[in-house]
Every structure is written in C-alpha cells, then in structure tokens.
Structure 1
Amino acid sequence: MREAEAYNFYLNAAEQTELKSSAQLLREFAAQEQCHKEKIEAVLDEGMCDIFSCTEEEFEKLNLKNYLAEVPLRSDSSPQDILVVPIKREENAYAFYEALAGTTTSAGHKSVFETFAKEELEHKQRLEHMYNDVFQPNI
C-alpha cells in the first residue's frame, strides 16, 4: 500500500536529514501517512471497488500511475533533496487523490479522497515553506 511506503519513506528521510526541524516535520508526516493507511483500509473493507462511477476503461485513462512516479532519496542526498523529494511526492499524492475523488459517486468516499488530497497539499505547502525558510531565506 502506498501509504505504508510513504510512512517508511518519511521515517527514513527524518533519519537522513541534518536539520532537526525537517526531521520533526517528516516524522509528523509519517504519522499522518499511518492514519491515511488506516482510513484506506477501512474504505477497502467496505468494498472500495464498488464506489467508482467510471468504467474500467475510463479509470485506466486517468493514468493514475503517473501520479505514483517516485523520485528516490539516496544515502548521499543533500539536505535540499531531503525536502525537494517529499515536495514532489506530496504534489503527486495530491493529484492522485483529486483524481480518485472525481471517480466516485459515493459522497462519503469522495469526502475521504478530498480530505486526503487537502492533507497532501498542506504537506507540500509546509515543506515548501520550510525549504524557502532554510534555503532561500532572503526571497
């Protein structure tokens, strides 16, 4: 599940960063991804495949896999990369959940996807603010 992978990603990134503020923020994101995982598991238990209003062909045309493309962190990633990579991941996650929200007729499930999208956008914005504060303080 993507959220479990994101949880591990953020914990690893928190361990790699030299910036304490970045490490704390990344740990917070890991905890939020754990909550996302639990919510998605609950939706799956309700029969998630039944909630989408589009056909399989229409669903495939959404190219959701494009939103899942990853930029990896490496052991030699710079402090900048440790913020830039999650910014890209959050941007992709936002687009992914927005696309999913548009495929369901269930108000409850649409709300879940929209909430996830909003949280991912908030993550991205927090990371961008941190990046600007640390690496572009005079802008």
Structure 2
Amino acid sequence: AKMFRRVLTIVQAHCKLGLTATLVREDDKIVDLNFLIGPKLYEANWMELQNSGYIAKVQCAEVWCPMSPEFYREYIAIKTKKRILLYTMNPNKFRACQFLIKFHERRNDKIIVFADNVFALKEYAVRLGK
C-alpha cells in the first residue's frame, strides 16, 4: 500500500487502473483504495477462473526455515532495520526457495516468487541467475 500510494502521488494520469488478486490486507489499508483509485468495478470468483483455466490451480504449503544458531545470534543482537534484512536473507530460506524453484522448473511449472522485501527478491534473482 505504501508503494502504491507513492506511485500514485508521482505519476499524474487521467485515469488509474488497480489490479489485485485479493482485497484482503492484514493492515486494513484496503480502505485507502477507494480514495486512491475509486470504487471496485468488477470482481471475479477465483474458483470459477481456476476451473475455467484462466488461472493456475493453487497449492499452498508452509515451509519453516529456521536460522542457524550463528545467524540467529546475530539476528537477536541487532535492533536496527538490518534485522529485517537478516530474516529475509536467512540462508536456509534461500536454500528452500532455490530447491522449490528447481523442483518446479523440472516439472515445467510456471513460477512466481513473492516476498515482502524487494531487496531479497533481487538478491535471490542474482544468486540464482534469473
């Protein structure tokens, strides 16, 4: 929401189009959308889109990636914004992501990697040659 708001203040346009896969947010910033781009004009049922072949079938799994003891000690010791970088760049998280990407590439699946942190995504892409 913060980046979306920033883009809207920089880019001057006659009309704006906002696309989202979900109108659910944990921080209640969804109420800002009406002010930022106007009311919702259309909503599709994701199950109907999936059954019609417009979107992929979804399979979700939670993967826990504990930090190594050394990494965790440094993470606990830091009280600055660097702490966010440490948990996003957890080497075990990177290895899990790398494994999942390779697994799905072998199956010729389409892959999207989501993250809260753009730095992590860019770094993963560089390290994985993507």
Q: Same fold (TM over 0.5)?
A: no
Query: Which of the two has greater helix per residue?
Result: 1
Q: Look at both structures and tell me which one has the larger radius of gyration over its CA atoms.
A: 2
